[in-house]
Amino acid sequence: MAKTKISPLMLLPPILFAILAGVFYFGMQRDDPNALPSTMIGRTAPAFPTETLPGQILPDDQMVRTGQVSVVNFWATWCPPCRAEHPTLLDMASQGIRLIGVNFKDEGAKASAYLDKEGNPFMAVGYDPQGRAAINWGVTGPPETFIIAGDGTVLYRFAGPLVGSDYERRFLPELQEAMAASK
């Protein structure tokens, strides 16, 4: 009886499948598979845009170096999740949380009208029509929110709207921890 030889090419598909299955398995073991890593954590907050909306205060680097925790929120009027989180931002401002807004790739007149109509939770608003400042902050798209320590160090980045259980489970504990550490 003749021995049948197995071609090495016949082994290639099962080996590739095993490698791919291993990659998928280890990828699913990450803490939060939806989280995008931020290179800004632990670094000094980047510069704010050099423009502001009409009638607003221009944010500057000293606003996040007052010894108090600040929250920087990138938003736009064309962004439905940004509109959804707006009541949360108003609530945070009413609690005395220092909020700085950066209007991102928007029309200035629309952004100003939106804040006039819906309320302005921000102590200062930067205007970033081309998204250049957002690139320096590592923003992938609005809304994104950063918690900044009183010395200007970025402590935490939250991608997505500040609403619902995700906000309560992930963002609020980080904010509360930062505020407790600053006292």
Q: Is the pTM of this model over 0.75?
A: yes
Phi, psi of 71 (to 5 degrees): -120, 125
Would you say residue 76 lies in a domain? yes
Say yes or no to pLDDT of 32 above 60.
no
CATH number where 160 lies = 3.40.30.10
pLDDT tens by residue, 45-65: 999 999 999 999 999 999 999
Would you say residue 132 lies in a domain? yes
- Partners of 147 in the β-ladder: 71, 156
Q: What is the mean pLDDT of the chain?
A: 89
% of the chain beyond a pLDDT of 90: 73
As for how many domains the chain has, the answer is 1
pLDDT tens by residue, 84-124: 999 999 999 999 999 999 999 999 999 999 999 999 999 99
Name the nearest CA neighbour of 178 among 69, 44, 61.
69
Q: What pLDDT was estimated at residue 9?
A: 75
pLDDT tens by residue, 122-134: 999 999 999 999 9
Would you say residue 17 lies in a domain? no
Would you say residue 16 lies in a domain? no
Would you say residue 10 lies in a domain? no
2 band by pLDDT with thresholds 50, 70 and 90 = low
Q: Where are the alpha helices (DSSP H) in the chain?
A: 8-28, 80-94, 108-118, 132-137, 164-166, 172-181
Would you say residue 19 lies in a domain? no
In which domain, by residue range, is 153 found? 51-181
Other residues' Cβ atoms within 10 Å of the Cβ of residue 164: 12
- From the number of C-beta atoms within 10 Å of its C-beta (0-12, 13-18, 19+), residue 118 rates as middle
Would you say residue 74 lies in a domain? yes
Would you say residue 6 lies in a domain? no
